[in-house]
A and B are shown apart, each in its own frame.
Chain A
Amino acid sequence: MKVSTSWLKDYVDLSGITPQELAEKMTDGGIEIDAVEPMDKGVAGVVVGYVKEKTKHPDADKLNVCKVDVGTGEDLQIVCGAPNVDAGQHVPVATVGAKLPGGLNIKRAKLRGVESQGMICSARELGLNDKLLPKELQEGILVLPKLELGRPIGEVLDLDTHVLELDLTPNRSDALSLLGVAYEVGALTGRPVKLPEQDVFAAAEKAADHLSVSVEAPELCSHYSARYIKGVNVAPSPLWLQNRLMAAGVRPINNIVDVTNYVMLEYGQPLHAFDADQVAGGSIVVRLAREGETLETLDGQQRTLQPHMLVIADRDKPVALAGVMGGANSEVTDETVNIVLESAKFDGSTVRRTSRQLGLRSESSLRFEKEVDPARVIPALDRAASLIARLGQGLVADGIVQEVVKAAEPIVITVGLDRINAYLGTEIAKLEIQTIFGRLGFGSEISADGSAVKVEVPTRRGDISRDVDLIEEVARLYGYDNIPTTPIHGDTTPGALTASQAIRRELRRRLSDAGLSEVINYSFTSPARTELFPALGGSSRPIRLAMPMSEDRSVLRTSLLPQLLETATYNRNRKNPDLAVFEIGTVFHTDEEALTALPHEKHRLAVLLTGALRGASWNRKAQKADFYDAKGVLESVFAALGLSGSVTYEADSPEHLHPGRTAAVKLHTELGEQTIGYVGQLHPEAQQAEDLDDTFVAEIDLDVLYDAADRSIVYRTLPRYPAAERDIAVTVDAGVPAAALTAAVKEAAGELLESVRVFDVYTGEKLGAGRKSVALSLVYRHPERTMTDEEVAGLHAKAVAELEQSFSAELRK
């Protein structure tokens, strides 16, 4: 909403307040002013002139030499290049010495050898926004109506004003009008509001003789009123009216349409004028559209109507989309003689739905959507009729033809004075509260016992419906700054992280301390990306957005990995080939074909390593990341969660991962074994597709870990008896997993084997093809005594025998 201060002061006294001060006051009061624009961009010395003569420039095709009278008694010779300049026009003339916006000074000049004593100006040269002008005026000079010669242009074009741009919150639709803004300014400044003038109509002609109104959809139109105006002269509006419309950002059209727009801006009540002779039978019917009906709206578009849309129809056909836009079939044109003027209250949500569905938003629909003030239907109608009678020489027929379904009624709210202060933490006196309501123009009365105030809220403030709304009014006029700052009293509460929050935080800390950087990717991705990696937890049907912004971001991610690859590619393209990153985030999937309930949301941890884990330095070579680095990250995570003993890794070959370098991560709990993630190298083909070097990834489900995690640390006494260390080196088939060997050794040696560790793995020609050597280090210990050599030897022999038996292992000597 744009409000010009010169217009606003018709309704409320602004003396002594600068536009900037006004803007600050309004912003502090809750209506944010986005901008304060002066209309006058520094124009001086520009006056109204009259083009007496136009002759072609002798040496330039596109230039004309004009003789211009600016009321000084001496004609000026001005060279003008505008295509629309012509003799007989009144035009703005920048005389010698004039100043134009942008620091342009007008001097006497010679144009192609012909002297020019000034310049005839276009709207843009005067600093006006010419987008609202007809095209020929945008491309040429501004042609004015007949005016007194020599008058300063600032006066003529109402440039001595500022335009405030209001950024209205949806609740303050009352300020979508000059009067509404005036009430707000009145409340903020304590000044009274002056209502516009209205004429009294007393014609012999009866409106009811020409017009009938019937509301067939009473629940969607609580009040419809119309007046009949006869014998209008459709013509351009006077300049003052055009100036005001343009300052508000509305395009002037003709005096009839302009008045309806003017009064809409003034009262916030949209109006519509029909060519009365195009309304068949003089009958106005407010009804729902019928199946298959169409209407060409004023913007020239053919609209197919749906049965839930409210229309204004005549005897035969729709003539307007109620509250949205008029129909071309009943448009006011230059030939129009008689008009029907409409003022009504249409249901906001119906207007909103219709305008949304048709993609047709207008100044009218914008206001109806937010519910107009029912008490202004008639005043706005009469105000517009007055102006049309004055400007269009029409005769306003006697009487309003209307159907009132529901009359406007102010609401009354009672609120306890203690309640106001208890809610705000203030001590505002009774009298001050009443003064505030008075300034707002609300009637108020203190109850007999003095404890409450009864407030009558005018219908223009439809946003106020209960006690807290009134408390807000008191608070904002009392000033939020004046509300004290207090600590909360009452019971205290302990603040803490939940277990899962604490785990995520701890993982982030540990991983970043270990050299991995955290990334955050978008939750939206492309359908193809969701199919890249194996599903965890069974179902993985992705969820598609109803209306995505692009196909690339049309589904919710089902894995964190695809976008981690994008992170890697992005960095690689920016010369960061060495990357160690992780993400903790949510993935989404559903078991349903079509979503009827909320989908599964799971927390995941994903890791990506590529390039060098540690860069080369003067004292060591770069350390390239490998599978065991990625696996090591997971092992550290599980160790931190107390789950080292419950997790195993099994060779696996899911799609897009290297079949020889990938493991499924299995968690073993009382509930059994489940796959909770993968760790592996990206498949060479995938690496190529993503334009990456060797890349190692891991992803695990965190939700299951929250439950499985053992966060209790229980101290074990330190060993009091010495351990016996023995090594075994065996050759086995290359395909035998080392973990199988260690597991077998543990099983065979029993409880007294404290630990077993792989300390060397070797393959080479000496061993023969398909064989490898694995060296294990075993530690034996008895908790209550020192073990004898014989005891250790006995256990150790069992371990060796097990390896020989189960894996055809050959002991290396």
Chain B
Amino acid sequence: MTRLDVRKTHKLYIGGVFPRSESGRTFEAVDAKGGFLANMALASRKDGRDAVLAARKAFGGWSSRTPYNRGQVLYRVAEVMEGRRDQLIEQIRSGAGVADKPATASVDAAIDRVVWYAGWADKYVQVLGNANPVSGPYFNLSSPEPTGVVAVVAPSDPLLGLVSVIAPAIATGNTVVVIASETVPVPAVTMSEIMATSDLPGGVVNILTGHAAEIAPWLASHMDVNALDLGGVEDPDLAASLEVAAADNLKRVLRAPTAQVDWLAEPSLARLEAFVETKTVWHPIGV
């Protein structure tokens, strides 16, 4: 007799735990041919607000970790991804309907991407900051600090795109609320399980599944969100309206890309730079 498998309930990831949507709603994740894959939690605006609360709560602790420690944690995420490599490849294959080879390439690139950003965690300050030769007796230093809570609409590329926007934001000490790819949401749930078991403190990354057009406006206008990443917004009208909403508290906005992004290419520093603030300290010199 064949064993009956235990199916997973796909839930949200908020504050380090896995709740269902408070709304009780679900939607069906389907494969590339439209076949049923799983019931997903359909996040509501209340889930979005809960996620912002969790991200804010986690910000103080995460941003004051040493950069070395944040790099360690990110590297640990890559290690756990490696252990789940086959599962991720299978989910990309079935969800996005791609062949084994490109699915494998994409998962491998995603793991390598996390390693790449893990290495940046204790270096970007040296690259983005500098001492300033002012005309006076001051030691004047500019250094980047995390912006705060970043709301992210993740790209449709369900894993490589997802980690390519999460990793740089948290490497610099921000905490994030992410709306996962709407069309292929299952790998994001696996990523949340990976992060929950990678020494990443609860609340640093919060992942919502559902409709970006429904949840994103609430995040864009939320007064305790400091920045907005529109990387996955494909509708220009939605992108513009989110940018307008973001102006209420002058969120830093990373606009939607105007051309197709090649996620396999090595990224620039742009995403590390997007969500940091330059602080300049004038320290007196004297005897």
Q: Do A and B bind each other?
A: no
Residues of B within 8 A of A (CB): none
Residues of A within 8 A of B (CB): none
